[in-house]
């Protein structure tokens, strides 16, 4: 059985939409989305530099747009389950038919803008903690008043909070790497962004999902559209438990395709659940091989 998984912020790279624009329909779709959310996705995805697309308000819509283009290119594959990391949950919800693509783009536009505003209210940041004993790492994070904002499994936990506290973080046996983000995402620092996102989400039509959706909150498998969307809203100020999402995936699938901008999540899966075969859909040139991969897995039974 097969999963589609969608990456989160940090996966973006300059020019990442360029390979998809050889398809005129994809270019037209991006132009339509750009007009509907008042953001030039075509320029951001082709000629903008790394600093510009690192901006939360730009990065999040760009990542969701790339994921939706990749999923469209795969056609009507038989998908057993979907999951997304952080903002990738919006991509996953659209792939599963919970919300339509236009509403997904409107939602992520608000999410990115409001999270950028929240980040500007107080100096805070995030650091990846790599390796070390899990309990030792979690204790070191908590002792400094920080939050394990992304528990990514495979020996990777992202701490978030006060910059001075992050500078002191040094769990025994682990490496700490500061991330180039301007805020403490998935912590209480993002609480000011919740209500504006909830307001727009309340106006969006939702449907029961075409396939199960895994929640970042706890790895739960959901199909009720309103619950899925409510959880997506609440998640911006709460930790992402991707480790639990991978545990759930391990119970349901034999293969996973990561939609663009792909690479990060398949890397985590390879380390945490090597029994799952993975495919990173990085460009339009990969579509044929991705479809062959899908055919091998879509009817397998775990």
Q: Same domain, yes or no, for 222 and 261?
A: yes
| Residue 76, pLDDT score | 80
Question: Is 186 designated active site?
Answer: yes
Pairing label, strands 277-280, 147-153: unpaired
Give the per-residue SS3 of 42-97: HHHCCCCCHHHHHCHHHHHHHHHHHHHHHHHHHCCCCCCEEEECCCHHHHHHHHCC
Question: Is 86 designated active site?
Answer: yes
Q: Same domain, yes or no, for 160 and 288?
A: no
Q: What are phi and psi of 5, to 5 degrees?
A: -125, 145
Whether 301 shows a pLDDT value over 80: the answer reads no
- Of the residues 34, 186, 254, 297, only one is catalytic, namely 186
- Of the residues 34, 86, 127, 237, only one is catalytic, namely 86
| Residue 247, pLDDT score | 97
Whether 298 shows a pLDDT value over 80: the answer reads no
Pairing label, strands 221-222, 277-280: unpaired
| Residue 58, pLDDT score | 96
Q: Same domain, yes or no, for 13 and 108?
A: yes
- H-state helical runs in 87-162: 88-95, 101-119, 134-143
Q: pLDDT tens-digit profile of 65-105?
A: 999 999 999 988 789 999 999 999 999 999 999 999 999 99
Confidence of residue 181 (pLDDT cuts 50, 70, 90): confident
Whether 300 shows a pLDDT value over 90: the answer reads no
Q: Same domain, yes or no, for 195 and 174?
A: no
Mean pLDDT, the chain, integer: 95
Expressed as residue numbers, the domain containing 231 is 2-120+187-297
Tokens of 224: 């009720």
Whether 302 shows a pLDDT value over 50: the answer reads no
Domain count, the chain: 2
Overall average pLDDT of the 15-38 stretch: 95
274 inside domain = yes
Whether 130 shows a pLDDT value over 80: the answer reads yes
Domain of 199, CATH number, reads 3.40.366.10
């Amino acid at each position: 059985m097969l999963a589609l998984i969608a990456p989160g912020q940090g996966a973006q790279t300059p020019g990442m939409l360029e390979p998809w624009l050889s398809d005129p329909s994809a270019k037209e779709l991006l132009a339509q989305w750009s007009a509907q959310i008042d953001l030039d996705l075509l320029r951001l995805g082709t000629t903008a530099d790394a600093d510009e697309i690192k901006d939360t308000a730009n990065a999040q819509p760009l990542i969701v747009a790339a994921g939706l283009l990749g999923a469209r290119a795969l056609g009507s594959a038989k998908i057993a389950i979907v999951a997304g990391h952080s903002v990738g949950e919006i991509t996953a919800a659209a792939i599963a038919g919970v919300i339509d693509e236009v509403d997904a783009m409107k939602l992520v536009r608000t999410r990115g803008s409001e999270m950028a505003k929240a980040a500007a209210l107080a100096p805070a940041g995030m650091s990846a903690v790599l390796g070390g004993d899990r309990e030792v790492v979690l204790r070191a994070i908590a002792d400094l008043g920080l939050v394990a904002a992304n528990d990514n499994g495979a020996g990777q936990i992202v701490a978030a909070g006060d910059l001075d506290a992050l500078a002191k973080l040094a769990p025994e046996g682990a490496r700490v790497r500061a991330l180039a983000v301007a805020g403490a995402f998935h912590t209480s620092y993002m609480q000011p962004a919740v209500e504006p996102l909830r307001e727009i989400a309340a106006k969006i039509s939702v449907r029961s999902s075409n396939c199960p959706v895994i929640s970042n909150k706890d790895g739960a498998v959901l199909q009720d559209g309103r619950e899925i969307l409510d959880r997506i809203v609440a998640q911006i100020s709460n930790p992402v438990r991707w480790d639990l999402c991978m545990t759930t995936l391990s119970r349901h699938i034999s293969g996973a395709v990561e939609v663009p901008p792909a690479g990060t999540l398949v890397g985590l899966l390879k380390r945490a659940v090597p029994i799952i075969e993975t495919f990173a859909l990085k460009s339009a040139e990969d579509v044929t091989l991705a479809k062959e991969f899908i055919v091998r897995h879509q009817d397998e039974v775990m």
